[in-house]
Structure 1
């Protein structure tokens, strides 16, 4: 194997690789000898089939595997000898038809490798960095507002007077039997089912036709299932529902008291208030950390200047731009030309790549790692959000290392931010709730190459 460096310009490297055909043939013969005793061919005793016959039967497939192995070894040698770290997967370049000739045993395996490398730079020392952390006290009215929302979400209902007509917001208890073309369908029946009029928890048109019903009334309504309904056998079809109304209940006024707290498993209202205050404090702390993280990222961006791998920037820009094209532009973006917008978002891509590389280098120097339990927790969360079994996600990630890296990257970066916060001098500055809750406009760093 002969590997030579052809060019080195900026962060671009190109290598020329030559793997002699004789070396490949020798390896192929050795591999065939290994499997000779395991192959059972009609007309030959085990292990007695001629090598030439085995080569004819299995040579091309085995040679393809050997080519992949030799290319991986050549790549490792090229990068190791040159002491470089690839920024992205390298690109091999072959002459037309060369692979077929190599497989046939008629040519050396000769090709070029083009790769972009990670820049060499020294990250700033993080010991002694100083930042201000925005904080604010949880106001009592914030807790009261949260308690009011909880009370409204746990509305209690009381039966209306006999003969009273159902109004929007009332809760009914009903039996129903759904039919299509006069025949009941699976899943279309229920008994003593609670339904709040106006909640839009049933298909369109269902709740609206129950306004004005009274307890004890029987009624048949007609609705049409949406075209995008989850059950294909019902989507877009007209159905009737035979309904019996058992009760019409009006909502009670939402009250924040011990009874509400006890209905939620608390001892009394004081315990519920304490729990709510903790939750609000947690939200405030999360927002406070977002502001602190943004300040840290801004400083790291300002303090580092080095060449960026063009391929990484382009990949990050393409990802950002694909998102931009799929959402409605805000008023500021609408006033800009597409070229101006692309220039703005390319700067964001450059910032993300730069920060990803800086955080990766700081994390490497500090031996920052992502615990397995953190990674597993994130995988489980993504599986729940996608509505698929965890094992299915794990199997997908085992087959797609890049997808696993995308999950690991933000966890790693948060660990590096934690490390910086531990080493830095952090002072607190009190701000208003409104200022704390402003969007810090954080843009996540792009994942750096391992």
Structure 2
């Protein structure tokens, strides 16, 4: 386990500059995995080189593929073909990444190999039964700790059967795990989702040559189907800048007077833009310029300027498109004029931490009035002025909690300290130096 790294963020002047945040984490994970089961070479530009993604690269090597970075920073993956993954000689350590663990569990489940998955203390607390339950119906077997938690052993099968599975909870990770098991399963595997979730898996599988279809059902749900046992061919992938990572400098610019930032090539997949839709509703001055596509994913350059924000009601059906962005939205809401109500946040309780409780506790420590509802809602009462701050906030090994409160500290009357910023590198390597280069004041607090 890495040593705790306390960080302190102080009020700063205007934030200015043009930047590209690191590559999209969701797309980076998938590009390595899909390249590993394709025939030939996959070339990846702009891969996120955070700890989470590097754990995925290491896992694919243990499963028989090659995944290496060249001197120009381009990653090259030589795949083993669909069904060709080898039994690893070591435990697969997925670090802090629930995405990597859940998707890879689905991918190996349709191979006649046995794999043991583990992670750090945070990941080993997260529920995996939501993935293993449908995969057991397909023919794989699992041995896990109580509650379906890691460490977990997958006893895969090359005789898996297709299923039609209705998701009980909106989750792109669960949907993807089932589709990836179905990829190496004869027949058609279908996942039905009541609310659309991230579709990076579907888009990228098509890019590699798979047949993936979506159909709107009579009840309004979406049926996503994959035809099993295609031949996947190596591809070139341009990874967009991560919209979840871009959220932190974007909100920081909105909160600091005189600020103006241009964020380049930010992924604008409509199933990922809930935060930006919400910020615009709050009155944020965000212009979406130079819209275009990168390898099938829409992107835009975001021009963000400081301006006043007002409280809004964020509907529950928006949660799948911004599930990782509620902590930074809460920081923005703390500085807005009026009350912001965020509905349908149950899924936040099973992220890297109980994010709903952690956000509420941190805001309260910083002098913000908040309420957590019995319906898993979060109400933030903004005054139109920055909060007092002057607190140390617990992060529970959660990178997004750490970055969100460091952004809040840039606007607060007194500095805000987080007890551990070491885990920021899992998703946003170089966050502190990048923000300080724009004019922020983040320093070690040890």
Shared topology, TM-score over 0.5?
Answer: no
Larger relative contact order (CA 8 Å, sep ≥ 6)? 2
Q: Give 1 or 2: higher helix fraction.
A: 1
Give me the TM-score of the superposition, normalised by structure 2. Answer: 0.20
Q: Give 1 or 2: higher strand fraction.
A: 2
| Larger-gyration structure (1/2) | 1
Give me the TM-score of the superposition, normalised by structure 1. Answer: 0.20
